[in-house]
Structure 1
């Protein structure tokens, strides 16, 4: 099992605005996949916090001991830390499972806005639903393959996935799917049309089922699953910034 620990570290950059941004990485991933976005937003004056979710950035064996409750506790701890640091306004931005965790946070805690990138409601690998039985046959499944070099060079992820964790991810998705109507804050849903992991129709489902008065759906023709590192990342970062500025100006936030 190979993982670059330096890349997998959580990070925190303190800006001059009164808004704290919580960046939440994906399943078996790490804050590395959010680092370029975090640096961009920090340059715009935002404080950014990217926690390492429980069971991630260590070993697949350690991840096998965690579940959706543990991952969400990591998110809550990072949220509480931002509050304790004096940030009255928090925005959650999540990629993939991080997007699902961001939506769960939006249903349970006060947020200024939420942004989901490639958040799964429907996944391409239909074996996810079988994980509850497969975990008794084998403990891990091999990584399906490396990403393109321009993405892979930034990643710090596992080469094996615990089947029990896949089952818990499936449960998390189903839970959040049923709670989307509890999301009533401004939301931006972002989805690449070349996503190899999540069915793009997931984005439309999220957009249609949240109860937010202010919501925006952005599609990207040439983006795969790790949108924050792919060909259209600069446009994605700019669209996130524009959305945040609209929210901040609308609500007179700093």
Structure 2
């Protein structure tokens, strides 16, 4: 059986957010990977006239195309991409889901304040321009219209009533130092989702961009084992 993997990035992000995990899986499998850039996203943001439906439809089209080419489909969704993955799994036949820092809830004030304190300290010592966190916040704040943020929030609300209808095997990965999504979100989703087979993996040091966490190799391997169980079961039944 041929396996395809659809990977969906987050709000204001791009394929780079999931690329390290994609590279890991690519090196260990012969699976086919599709990593679309959602409308208005990527290295340069252009989100002014776009809606939640635009982002959902782009992912939906990518999934439909992939389904024509493979026998089995897994979806990996990061942040907002995790919410879109749930939307797709409720509408289409999907074999497994991996949700990374899924944005079912967002903005964790405690960690965000800690990050901002770090920025403030460096500002006082004249190192602000060297702070990658500051550069990230500054660039995104400038390029993200309020309209787009409201559309992101609307997307989350649209999908939330259907969590209990999700039945496919699912693995959630969440960093405990996430400054955007409260790390308790993963447990909330775990409890709400209707799947019988589900796993929850925490990264003790992971921030929001979990694919770049210092302990990423640990959870890469656990998530890979979760996906490979399906492959082994399929081979054993043939």
Which whole-Å CA distance do the structure 1 matches of 2:216 and 2:140 have between them?
A: 19
Residues 229-248 of structure 1 correspond to what in structure 2 (within 5 A)? Answer: 229-248=212-231
Task: Point out 4+ residue stretches in structure 1 off by more than 6 angstroms.
Answer: none
SS in 1 for 2:133: coil
SS in 2 for 1:63: coil
SS in 2 for 1:164: helix
Q: Which runs of 5+ in 1 are unaligned?
A: 1-16, 127-144
Measured on the aligned residues, the alpha-carbon RMSD in Å equals: 2.3
Tell me whether 1:26 sits opposite 2:10 in the alignment: yes
Match of 2:36 in 1: 51
Match of 2:63 in 1: 79
SS in 1 for 2:199: strand
Contact 2:106/2:180, CA 8 A, preserved across alignment = yes
Match of 2:159 in 1: 176
CA shift at 1:160, angstroms? Answer: 2.2
Contact 1:57/1:157, CA 8 A, preserved across alignment = no
CA shift at 1:31, angstroms? Answer: 0.4
Match of 2:53 in 1: 69
Q: Which runs of 5+ in 2 are unaligned?
A: 110-130
Q: Say which one has the larger Rg.
A: 2
Query: TM-score, structure 1 length as denominator?
Result: 0.77
Tell me whether 1:164 sits opposite 2:147 in the alignment: yes
Normalized per residue, the structure richer in helix is 2
Match of 1:204 in 2: 187
CA shift at 1:172, angstroms? Answer: 1.0
Match of 1:147 in 2: 133
Tell me whether 1:225 sits opposite 2:208 in the alignment: yes
Which whole-Å CA distance do the structure 1 matches of 2:8 and 2:49 have between them?
A: 20
Contact 1:193/1:220, CA 8 A, preserved across alignment = yes
CA shift at 1:251, angstroms? Answer: 3.8
Deviations 1:166-199 (A, max 9, x none): 1111111112221101110000011100000001
Which whole-Å CA distance do the structure 1 matches of 2:230 and 2:199 have between them?
A: 12
Alignment size in residue pairs: 213
Match of 2:91 among 104, 108, 115: 108
Flag the 1:163–1:182 CA change in 2: closer, same or farther, 3 A. same
Which whole-Å CA distance do the structure 2 matches of 1:57 and 1:199 have between them?
A: 24
Deviations 1:204-226 (A, max 9, x none): 11100111110001111100000
Which whole-Å CA distance do the structure 2 matches of 1:240 and 1:215 have between them?
A: 11
SS in 2 for 1:114: strand
